[in-house]
Amino acid sequence: MKGSALRLVYRIHAWMGVGFGLVVLALCLTGSVAVLRADIVGWVGSPLPPVSNACRLAPDQALARMSNGLDGDAPVRRLSLPALTGGYYELRLADGRRTALDYCGNGVAPDRAEAGTFLVNLHSRLFLGKSGRWVVGGFGVAMLVSTLTGVLLHRKLVSQLFTLRRGRGARLWLSDAHKLIGVWLLPFHLLIALTGAWLGLYAVLGGAGLDRQASAPRAAAFVVPPSVEAMLAQAHAVMPGIVPVFIDFFPERGHVSVRGNLPGHLVQRHRAEVLFDGSGDVLATRDPRMESGLTRIHGMMMPLHLGDWAGNAVRWLYVFLGLGSTWLVWLGLRLWVDRRERSDGILYKRGRSAMLGLRTAAFGLVGGVSIPLLAGMVKPGAMNLDGQSFLLTLAMTAVLVGPLLLSHWRRRDASSVDQLPQMSKRGERAEPDRDGC
């Protein structure tokens, strides 16, 4: 690659990281944590009683008790099963109200679901509603471009697999660590960036039909949902291997939809469906294993992005790899700020201010994610945050953390600037060193 083309690729790589780095850093961090959303729900929420012979509330019993416990005429919309919630039944009405029972018939506090909802909404929508998916998809594209340009810049990938020079300066060590993580985790970076961009933008690009569900003509409307247990047994008979996770009720259309997963297959994530009428007869099925082409590829995107395709071992692997991606983005930002210090810090304060701003913002992002989770552990119900509450928490964290670190970072930055080699000419700008990109 010629020098002019290499400089262009370098600038794209650097400014993609600088322009979108902090948000991508937040997405990598929250995505790494959100992989364990089911475990976090258990840690944050009140403990559930163990399943025993004395605590075996059947689905029909749970539906009847929760329906009788809610006032109003709003129809039942969804019954979430223990396979989805992690050990309890949750009923949702058409007006948005919810209630939940454990296997013993005891009420479940709403704080159990708030932790997982908080993480998923933050990672997938940035609390911006439906349009937030498009925004996150755009950041996925930026991460993909940054990854590909990084590969073009560092063409000696094999030698960089084992290069980590120590004792020759912090900047060289950070540069090697950035390249080392980038090369070792390159397949994972490409996978997460590509699937994240797809999941955010496929509807905008005309792929909304890829999420179509099983369909059938309207049937006779019903008021009282049919037997849940009979439908679940019928779903197992029609589609062997299905693990139902929730049941949607459409009384005005006369339909009941049993949705579930197919363990051991990439095309899971609630895409298997058996559609019933009000009397419990099967109207239609959707077996994602039978799909092909772009529809099948789309069905693989969500499991591949979330690690929900091969058990807990893969989920924990996604956590560590996601934290590696977070560290990679941080190192890239840190190296860019260090270059600003070296090229501008002697004559101007811009480099020092950039370093302080980066550290304060990064601590603010970490605090904005961790403080609400800790608050939910201490006080049930404290996790019910909307977008404004999250931004306020983020701003308060940055304001609190920044002054505490200000004096320390000033002393450290001042000492590092004093040790820099003097420029040959006052005002001369240093040529970018691509070893630190």
List, as one string, the DSSP characters of 261-320.
E-TT-SS-SS-EEEEEETTS-EEEEE-GGG--HHHHHHHHHHHHHHTTTS-HHHHHHHHH
* Cβ partners under 8 Å of residue 249, min gap 6: 75, 76, 77, 78, 79, 225, 256
- Give the burial string for 366-382 (b: 16+ CB within 10 Å, else e): bbbbebbbebbeeebeb
Residue 333: per-residue pLDDT: 83
Question: Tell me: the pLDDT tens digits for 120-140?
Answer: 888 888 877 778 888 899 999
Give a three-class secondary structure readout of 209-256.
Answer: HHHCCCCCCCCCCCCCCCCHHHHHHHHHHHCCCCEEEEEEEECCCCEE
Question: Tell me: the pLDDT tens digits for 53-104?
Answer: 677 889 999 998 888 877 777 888 999 998 888 788 999 988 888 888 988 8
Whole-model pTM over 0.75: no
User: For the chain, what are the domain ranges?
Assistant: 3-39+123-205+309-436
Say yes or no to pLDDT of 245 above 70: yes
Q: What is the C-alpha separation between 124 and 119, in angstroms, rounded?
A: 8
Q: What is the mean pLDDT of the chain?
A: 77
Q: Break the chain down into helix, strand, coil percent, rounded to 5.
A: 60, 10, 30
Say yes or no to pLDDT of 306 above 50: yes
Say yes or no to pLDDT of 114 above 80: no
Determine the average pLDDT of the residues in 24-43.
82
Say yes or no to pLDDT of 340 above 50: yes
Question: Tell me: the pLDDT tens digits for 7-30?
Answer: 888 888 888 887 788 888 888 988
Question: Tell me: the pLDDT tens digits for 163-173?
Answer: 666 666 677 77
Say yes or no to pLDDT of 246 above 80: yes
Q: What is the C-alpha separation between 164 and 424, in angstroms, rounded?
A: 30
To the nearest 10°, report the CA torsion of 319, 321, 325, 331. Answer: 110
